[in-house]
Amino acid sequence: MVESTRIVLASRPAGAPTPENFRIETAEIPAPAEGEVLLRTLYLSLDPYMRGRMSSAKSYAEPVEVGAVMVGATVAEVLESRAPSVSKGDVVLAYSGWQTHDVAPAHGLRVLDPAKAPVSTALGVLGMPGFTAYAGLSRIGKPQPGETLVVAAATGAVGSTVGQIAKIKGARTVGIAGGPRKVAYLNEIGFDVAIDHRAPDFAEQLAAAVPDGIDIYFENVGGSVAEAVYPLLNNYARVPVCGLIANYNATGVPAGPDRLPAFYGRILTKSLTVRGFIQSEFVRELYPDFLREMGEWVAGGRVHYLEDVVHGLAAAPEAFIGMLEGRNFGKLVVRVAD
Ligand SMILES: NC(=O)c1ccc[n+]([C@@H]2O[C@H](COP(=O)([O-])OP(=O)(O)OC[C@H]3O[C@@H](n4cnc5c(N)ncnc54)[C@H](OP(=O)(O)O)[C@@H]3O)[C@@H](O)[C@H]2O)c1
């Protein structure tokens, strides 16, 4: 028997999650059966979608039950294997959730090659968030040379990759982020313009930054950023709707007048394509291309990535709560074990 330390959902949040919504526990886990492996978590990914899993509202995935381990992608070391496809000592991409150890079927695991890239990147630029950027752009955004792309949460795992892929495709890129440190980083990694959405004159700065209008708005946030973007969209603009993090802690509809008629009016009169997506929709079709192409871009220094690493499983709740407020700077991962 191995003891696993785990963080479970103690209660469902009303509005922003608090530390009391999580509880740390230990549990004994059984030895692996035939076809299974025993895993020790090295890194845990913290992602905005986990806020949705804490809620019982109907969504594209089942909620985490109260008392159950919080879900999440992990990079783990194989301590014991009873499957031919995975060996003891391998480092794998798994989905063990917020816990130090797990027993899992071997067939869902991807063996990582630490010689190719740091293994933590399998949770970020070379994993689900990077793939989200790649798929949303290649299937919906379709940036063309000379077009203008705008993306918010632009220093984050998805947004920074969106901006850099669009730049490779020849687009002019405008990144939106919270605070001067993040804005400086966007300039460093090659965004043409970087804007702080917390600035009082944010909407004016955005309008000045896009003299030819906006052809692609990669929607990560919604809220006041989206409201400033929509009047600037060009005819035939594309809006891959990837995330709406400004709404994730909302407990009701936003104050003010009903904006839906104006929103539909713009879609109609400007012939906009507004298309929501969940990255998993494109995995079968695009994942091998993504791994090859993004692997080359990262190895060749054409796509940069930033990781925000917090240490120890116990730090996960606070770090997760902070991410929903913009306190992370780069892809948020927890270093669970060395
Ligand atoms: N559709 C899919 O399949 C899919 C897959 C992965 C991710 N996503 C979505 O993609 C988005 C980015 O995810 P990520 O993993 O890359 O996270 P991230 O950008 O690393 O972290 C979230 C960031 O969102 C920004 N933010 C938070 N509240 C905001 C607000 N009210 N207004 C504007 N910005 C706000 C903050 O950045 P600033 O400090 O810069 O504002 C924060 O750092 C999320 O909406 C997520 O749900 C969707």
Decide if pLDDT at 120 tops 90: yes
Six-digit token string for 338: 């060395």
Q: Say whether pLDDT at 101 is over 90.
A: yes
Residue 253's pLDDT is what?
Answer: 85
Q: How far apart are CA 330 and CA 185, in angstroms?
A: 10
Between the CA of 319 and the centroid of ligand 1 the distance, in Å, is 14
pLDDT at position 191 over 90? yes
Residues 92, 75: contact at Cβ < 8 Å?
yes
State the Cα–Cα distance between residues 38 and 40, nearest whole angstrom: 7
Give the pLDDT band of residue 47 (cuts 50, 70, 90). Answer: very high
| Residue intervals in the chain for CATH 3.40.50.720 | 128-280
Cα 279 to averaged position of ligand 1 atoms, centre (Å):
14
Q: In the chain, what's the furthest Cα-to-Cα distance?
A: 64
pLDDT band at 89 (very low <50, low <70, confident <90, very high): very high
Instruction: Indicate the pairing of strand 110-111 with strand 101-105.
Output: unpaired
Establish whether residue 242 lines the binding site of ligand 1, counting it when its CB lies within 6 angstroms of any ligand atom. yes
Tally of residues, the chain: 338
Q: Determine the distance separating the centroid of ligand 1 and the alpha carbon of 219, expressed in angstroms.
A: 9
CATH class entry, domain 2-124+306-335: alpha beta
In this model, does residue 58 exceed pLDDT 90?
Answer: no
Mean pLDDT taken over the chain: 97
Q: How confident is the model at residue 1 (pLDDT cuts 50, 70, 90)?
A: confident
Sequence ranges of the chain with CATH classification 3.90.180.10? 2-124+306-335
Q: Do residues 41 and 337 make contact, with C-beta atoms less than 8 angstroms apart?
A: yes
Amino acid of residue 79? L
Rounded to two decimals, the pTM is 0.97
Atom in ligand 1 nearest the alpha carbon of residue 243: 45
Name the fold adopted by 128-280: Rossmann fold (3.40.50)
Q: Whose CA is nearest to atom 18 of ligand 1?
A: 156
Q: Which long-range contacts (CB under 8 A, 24 or more apart) does 202-209 make?
A: 202/228, 203/227, 203/228, 206/150, 206/174, 206/176, 206/232, 207/232, 209/174
| pLDDT value of residue 254 | 84
